Amino acid sequence: MPRIVDSHCHLDFPDFDDDLDQVIANAQAAGVERMVTICTKLSALDKVRGIAEAYAPVFFAAGTHPMSAASEPMVSVEELLAVTQHPKMVGIGETGLDYYYTSESAEAQKQSLAIHIEAARQTQLPLIIHSRAADDDMTDILQTEMANGAFPLVMHCFSSGPALAKTALELGGYLSMSGVATFKKAQEVRDIFATAPVERILVETDAPYLAPPPHRGRRNEPAYTAHTAQVGADVFGMELDDFAAQTTDNFDRLFKKAAAWRPA
């Protein structure tokens, strides 16, 4: 069975409140040996952290989602650094820019993103970036900030244009393939992934959203990473086992803290 990592999901969302034990078991049965559950606002941190503490295969990241940047208290670098002291906190974010739904809060989003970047720079934990309908600003910010001091990054659920993909890769970043890449009308997204080095690709669900076929239209869950990994293998002309092993190695290279973690 392929070893797969779901590098981005949201197990604290109410969609999983009634059957989280079964969801974790389903994932492991499908070969998804580890998951990173993402805190999208620090007011939810206790629940997210508790899930990671309760389940050995689950790690967590924390930050303020760009769509919440104007409605949540502005996080500080110090607050993020404090959360990173937890042994299973392995990434900063998700953070970024979303002009598709919340363009009116663009300035707050940029301020929040800069704070998260500084926390990633200081800790060298990967910055988990959400970018939608903001390619130009995201490109400019990443190039400027990287020149001020390097930090690791992943473009989560990548579905932006080829120019942003090129910039992220040139800056040493990774692209994460979600269920979006499995959709019939997403050939452009698959083409962008096909031009990237396979050593810089991760897979994810973004569960409970974006379920890949044959589950599209229903709740997504980490077990379905296997379907996205199969599409990824096809894109790169690889066997599923080889692609799963490559993306797992990629995850370990980027998420070094998760790779090094051992149960107490």
Residue 38's pLDDT band (cuts 50, 70, 90): very high
pLDDT at 82 (0 to 100) = 98
CATH number of the domain where residue 98 is located: 3.20.20.140
pLDDT at 2 (0 to 100) = 85
The yes-or-no verdict on residue 264 having pLDDT over 90 is no
pLDDT at 166 (0 to 100) = 98
Between CA 109 and CA 66 the distance in angstroms is 5
Q: What percent of the chain has pLDDT over 70?
A: 100
The yes-or-no verdict on residue 1 having pLDDT over 90 is no
Secondary structure string (H, E, C) spanning 43-110 = HHHHHHHHHHHHCCCEEEEECCCHHHCCCCCCCCHHHHHHHCCCCCEEEEEEEEEEHHHHHHHHHHHH
Give tens-digit pLDDT for 53-90: 999 999 999 999 999 999 999 999 999 999 999 999 99
The yes-or-no verdict on residue 240 having pLDDT over 90 is yes
Between CA 9 and CA 131 the distance in angstroms is 16
pLDDT at 42 (0 to 100) = 96
pLDDT at 67 (0 to 100) = 98
Please give the C-alpha separations between residue 98 and each of 66, 130, 167, 191, in angstroms, as whole numbers. Answer: 6, 7, 18, 23
124: left (phi over 0), alpha (psi -120 to 50) or beta: left
Between CA 151 and CA 126 the distance in angstroms is 7
Residue 107's pLDDT band (cuts 50, 70, 90): very high
Residue 119's pLDDT band (cuts 50, 70, 90): very high
Cis peptide leading into residue 222 (ω within 30°):
no
The yes-or-no verdict on residue 130 having pLDDT over 80 is yes
Query: What integer is the mean pLDDT of 7-17?
Result: 98
Query: What integer is the mean pLDDT of 168-193?
Result: 97
Q: What percent of the chain has pLDDT over 90?
A: 98
Between CA 16 and CA 21 the distance in angstroms is 9
Residue 82 belongs to what domain range?
Answer: 4-260
Contacts of 196 (CB under 8 A, 6+ apart): 165, 169, 175
Residue 255's pLDDT band (cuts 50, 70, 90): very high
**Domain total of the chain:** 1
The yes-or-no verdict on residue 207 having pLDDT over 80 is yes
Between CA 264 and CA 75 the distance in angstroms is 30
Chain mean pLDDT for the chain: 97
Cis peptide leading into residue 214 (ω within 30°):
yes
Q: Would you state the structure tokens that stand for residue 98, as one six-digit string?
A: 């979303």
Q: Would you state the structure tokens that stand for residue 34, as one six-digit string?
A: 């580890």
pTM: 0.97
Q: Would you state the structure tokens that stand for residue 200, as one six-digit string?
A: 């810089």
Cβ–Cβ under 8 Å, residues 72 and 109: no
